[in-house]
Amino acid sequence: MKKLLALTLAVMMVLSLAACGGSDTPAAPSAPTDGSAEAPAADGAPSASGDTIKVGLLANTTGDNAMYGNAVKNGAMLYFDEVNAAGGVNGKQIEVIALDEKGDATEAVTAFNRLLDQGITALVGSVLTGPTIAVADETYPINMPQVTASATAAGVTMIDPEDPASEIRTNIFRSCFIDPFQGEKMAQYANDKLGAKTAAVIFETGSDYSVGLKDAFVEKCGELGVEVVAAEGYSKGDVDFKAQMTNIASKNPDVVFSPNYYQDDGMIVTQARAAGVTGTFLGGDGWGSVKDYASAEDLEGSVYCSGYAPGSNDAVKKFEADYEAKYGEAIPNMFAPLGYDAALLLVEGLKAAEAAGLEAGSDDYKQAVIDGIKGINGVEGITGSYAFDEYNNPIKSAAMIKLTGGEEVFTELF
């Protein structure tokens, strides 16, 4: 009798568990969460049900340069929500766990480890170069698929960017172009479009982004015969550029390359004009929204390269309308469309892994996501058509943005 009772109880427990696991209730939409209410999975194993795919999203949504982080997050969430509304990936909803890493490398690593505890199977992030490289050092050893929207330094995907034969972080991709590309592109533009014979540079020392663009610009100028007559550095947090601008003004360069972020660029241009600098200012993609940080008069004629050409085709116009409808504001800068494209690229990888019937979070699944992204050829995003080179960098054109009448106006792809 005891044996019969035990057997009956065991059968009842099995049936109960089967009923719990067989729910047809659809997964929740991909509203971002910090995961604080969810128990960590043991040993970082996936804790999502079979109806969801967990994806992490790291962005600096507070602190310095939060304008970039919020734009990337919003753009990425717009795409993830569109995918979920259309039925998800292989019938599974994408569950996004979004964390603020405050633009700090240490905070970014801590946040990534929290995402691991929550059982993510892939990552969008981070935004700025420094935090992204710090996280890349963590994702590479465990082969975690990672797509950054905006970290442009060559060192994101290359262990040693100074060595052409460097080991490549094969798990990491980006939707933006890289620092050397931008520096070279702006030197070429100065030569081909502006007929510049002389150039000056002002850059933030210690910034991977700023130094990377500066080095590529100077090297390309040398190849083109454009003489760099001054190269001035400054430290993070500086607000007084009078000494540097006075020196640059004395050289009277045709162009001044300022490969920094918009707040600094606004102050630099303002102080440069006050010091008598008359050359055309050039910048990289960090100039996005610079119009809000200097006068229209001082910025007039300045040109920077961007990964985004506003209003350039029907798909871009639809994205812009959808973004404004969802967030109640126009596209703030190119980081929103790059965030959208980063999510798109990651989902292409998820589709490949799901098509192979693999278990989300497993090593084989992660490798299939990586292979799926690497194999992209001609997938259309908001910022261009995507394929990847041997360093996992996208092959795409740059949109040239000119400051005209206080507005940032797309002029051409170059």
Q: Are residues 156 and 80 in the same domain?
A: yes
Residue 397 lies in a domain: no
CB atoms within 10 A of CB 224: 15
* Residue 18 placed within a domain: no
* Terminal alpha carbon distance of the chain: 84
What is d(CA 213, CA 363) in angstroms, rounded to the nearest whole number?
Answer: 36
Assess whether 168 and 215 both reside in one domain. no
Q: What is the pLDDT of residues 70-126, one digit of tens each?
A: 999 999 999 999 999 999 999 999 999 999 999 999 999 999 999 999 999 999 999
C-alpha dist (Å) from residue 276 to 50, 206, 216, 246: 64, 27, 27, 8
Please tell me whether residues 295 and 321 are part of one structural domain: no
**53/149 same-domain check:** yes
Report yes or no on 370 lying in a domain: yes
Exposed / middle / buried, residue 378 (Cβ in 10 Å: 0-12, 13-18, 19+): exposed
Give me the percent of the chain exceeding a pLDDT of 70.
88
Residues 6+ apart with CB under 8 A from 99: 34, 35, 56, 57, 58, 111, 114, 115
| pLDDT greater than 80 at residue 205 | yes
pLDDT for 51 beyond 70: yes
Statement: residue 18 has pLDDT above 50: no
| Contact predicate 414/400, CB 8 Å | yes
The answer to whether position 158 is within a domain reads yes
172 with 37, same domain?
yes
Tell which of 285, 306, 327 closes a domain.
306
Tally the domains of the chain: 2
Answer with the one of 306, 322, 354 that is the final residue of a domain: 306
Across the beta sheet with 303-306, the strand order is 227-234, 198-204, 255-257, 280-283, 303-306, 399-404, 407-413
| 8 belongs to a structural domain | no
Residue with tokens 């996280």: 135
CATH number at residue 229: 3.40.50.2300
HSE, CB side, 13 Å, CA atoms: give it for residue 388: 21
Q: What values do phi and psi take at 83, rounded to 5?
A: -65, -45
**Mean predicted lDDT score pLDDT of the chain:** 89
User: Could you tell me if residue 264 is inside a domain?
Assistant: yes
In angstroms, the CA 17 to CA 24 distance is 15
DSSP-assigned states of every residue in 302-319: -EEEES--TT-SHHHHHH
Same-domain pairing of 203 and 260? yes
* Whether pLDDT at 372 is above 50: yes
pLDDT tens per residue, range 148-160: 999 988 899 999 9
Query: CA dihedral in degrees (406, 412, 313, 290; nearest 10)?
Result: -30
One domain, residues 340 and 249: no
Predicted confidence at residue 124, as pLDDT, reads: 98
Overall average pLDDT of the 252-271 stretch:
97
Q: Which amino acid is at 57?
A: L
Q: Is the pLDDT of residue 229 over 70?
A: yes
CB of 187 closer than 8 Å to CB of 226: yes
Three-state DSSP at 92 gives strand
- pLDDT at residue 32, rounded to an integer: 54
Residue 365 lies in a domain: yes
Choosing from 306, 323, 353, the residue where a domain stops is 306
Q: Do 61 and 161 reside in the same domain of the chain?
A: yes
In this predicted model, what pLDDT tens digit does every residue of 142-186 receive, in sequence order? Answer: 999 999 999 988 899 999 988 989 999 999 999 999 888 999 999
Nearest of 188, 215, 181 to residue 201 by alpha carbon:
215
Residue 184 and residue 100 share a domain: no
**Dist. CA 118–CA 97, nearest whole Å:** 8
Please check whether residue 233 lies inside any domain of the structure. Answer: yes
Residue 333 pLDDT greater than 90, yes or no: no
Q: Are 122 and 363 a contacting pair, CB within 8 Å?
A: no
Mark whether 234 and 167 lie in a shared domain: no
Same domain, 48 and 165: yes
Determine the structural domain holding residue 153 and report its residue range: 29-177+314-387
Q: Specify whether the CB–CB gap between 199 and 168 falls below 8 A.
A: no
* pLDDT for the residue numbered 30: 54
Q: What is the pLDDT of residue 179?
A: 84
Structure-token pair, residue 205: 């020392």
Q: Quick one: pLDDT at residue 105?
A: 97
**H/E stretch holding 98:** strand 93-100
How far, CA to CA in Å, does 278 sit from each of 74, 103, 390?
A: 38, 34, 41
Q: What percent of the chain has pLDDT over 90?
A: 79
Residues 53, 68 within the same domain? yes
Predicted confidence at residue 166, as pLDDT, reads 93
